[in-house]
Amino acid sequence: MFIFDISQPLTLVLMLAATILLVFLAQEIKKSGVAAIPLIAYLGVLIIHVAQLTTLSEEFRFMAETLSRCVMIDFVFILISFFSYLWVDDIEAKEKNKKSYNNSLDWFWKKV
């Protein structure tokens, strides 16, 4: 059974670097759609990891701990990319003088 093990340190660093680069690109071109790419990708990876964890056969039970760790890491990356998306969406809304998707974090963005 193949598992995309994102709990390895090198994989974590590469995923974090790719996320930061995509968020920086989205912030520079002021397009929130670019910041949504990692969010959608991490949601897909989370679905895959949960599906693998729930359909794990008895012969692969030793992989349950690794899959559980991957699910936790998926949630952290989803949180990071979601806040990044909201931040870039706020930047795009200010640039185009339109209403942001969600203004509930205005107090936070003013401090950043």
Which residue, chain included where needed, has tokens 């998306």? 85
Name the percent of the chain lying above pLDDT 90. 54
The winner for highest mean pLDDT among 16-20, 54-58, 89-93 is 16-20
Contact by Cβ (8 Å): 70, 5: yes
Distance CA 107, CA 94 (A): 15
- Whether residue 106 is predicted with pLDDT greater than 70 in this model: the reply is no
DSSP 94-106: HHHT---S--TTH
Q: Which two tokens stand for residue 23?
A: 């968020």
Q: Which amino acid is at 52?
A: Q
- pLDDT tens figures, 58-88: 888 888 899 999 999 999 999 999 999 988 9
The H or E element containing residue 18 is helix 9-29
